[in-house]
Amino acid sequence: MKLIFIRHGDPDYEKDSLTEKGWREAEILAKRVAKWDIKQIYCSPLGRAKDTCSVSLKETRREAITCDWLKEFYYRIWDEQVNEWTICWDFYPRDFNYRDDFHDKDQWYETDIMKSGNIKEHALEVFKGFDELLEKHGYKRNDKGFYDVIEHNDDNIVFFCHFGVTALIMSHLIGVAAPVIWQGMMMAPTSITVLGSEERIEGEASFRVQTFADSRHLLEAGEPISQSGYFTKIFEG
């Protein structure tokens, strides 16, 4: 099985839609998506993801299933250093890098700052929704951190959603702390991230990142990669 995560196009956050550039990106993306053999498409309920998805749905003449747990993981935490509520996945290096608990897959959401926003509860809601979906597609999460294969398949499952929630789901799949991905990686608008199931032992599956934040459809079309969500200049070589 392949899990294909697509971040929405360049966002207009005020309108929860896309900028003019974002719509161009979505059109370019749709040409790429149309070439895939897709089993099912799932989408976040938020406007910018739905708008991005709509272009691919029109191109492929398909429909998407909306999952509430695919919405952006926008929950806030109380940051005592700045004395305000901030997004739970936006730390400065001086506040994150030295802390072992933020790098522990089982402890990061047990920290006091994450508890201030009930982040564990919200993360478990996402994990539950995602695992229930995977079980419908033949892969059941076990208590050892991987998946029992109920019915092997080579299906391609596509998700139109957001950086924060994609990183959270990735952390669940590959067994790392979500803040490591939130703080250390970036997915540009309409970039594509693929995780594939490896079944080296019959009946047991783990998911491994095959492609991360691939934006080649934009480069090939001559469309610059958006810097949205990134704090330095994008390399487009």
Structural element, H or E, at residue 160: strand 156-161
Q: How many CB atoms lie within 10 A of CB 60?
A: 17
Please, what are the domains in the chain? 2-75+129-221 (3.40.50.1240)
Q: What is the pLDDT of residue 81?
A: 80
Q: What is the pLDDT of residue 95?
A: 87
Amino acid at 124: L
Q: Write the DSSP assignment of 74-111 as a string of letters.
A: --EEEETTTTEEEETT---HHHHTT-TGGG-TTTGGGS
Residue 82's pLDDT band (cuts 50, 70, 90): confident
For residue 103, pLDDT over 90 is answered with: yes
Measure Cα distances from 68 to 21, 73, 136, 161, 231 in Å.
Answer: 26, 11, 17, 10, 29
The number of angstroms, rounded, from the C-alpha of 14 to the middle of its chain's C-alpha atoms is 21
- pLDDT above 90 covers a percentage of the chain that reads 93
Each residue of 206-216: pLDDT tens digit? 999 999 999 99
C-alpha to C-alpha distance for 102 and 98, rounded to whole angstroms? 9
> What tokens does 30 get?
């749709």
Q: What Rg, from alpha-carbon coordinates, does the chain have?
A: 18
Opening angle at CA 8, ends 45 and 114, nearest 5: 70
Average pLDDT score over residue span 83-107: 92
Each residue of 53-81: pLDDT tens digit? 999 999 999 999 999 999 999 999 998 88
Structural element, H or E, at residue 139: strand 139-141
Whole-structure pTM value: 0.97
Amino acid at 107: Q
Average pLDDT score over residue span 181-199: 98
Measure Cα distances from 157 to 5, 60, 136 in Å.
Answer: 9, 14, 12
C-alpha to C-alpha distance for 185 and 191, rounded to whole angstroms? 13
Each residue of 116-175: pLDDT tens digit? 999 999 999 999 999 999 999 999 999 999 999 999 999 999 999 999 999 999 999 999
Q: What is the pLDDT of residue 180?
A: 97
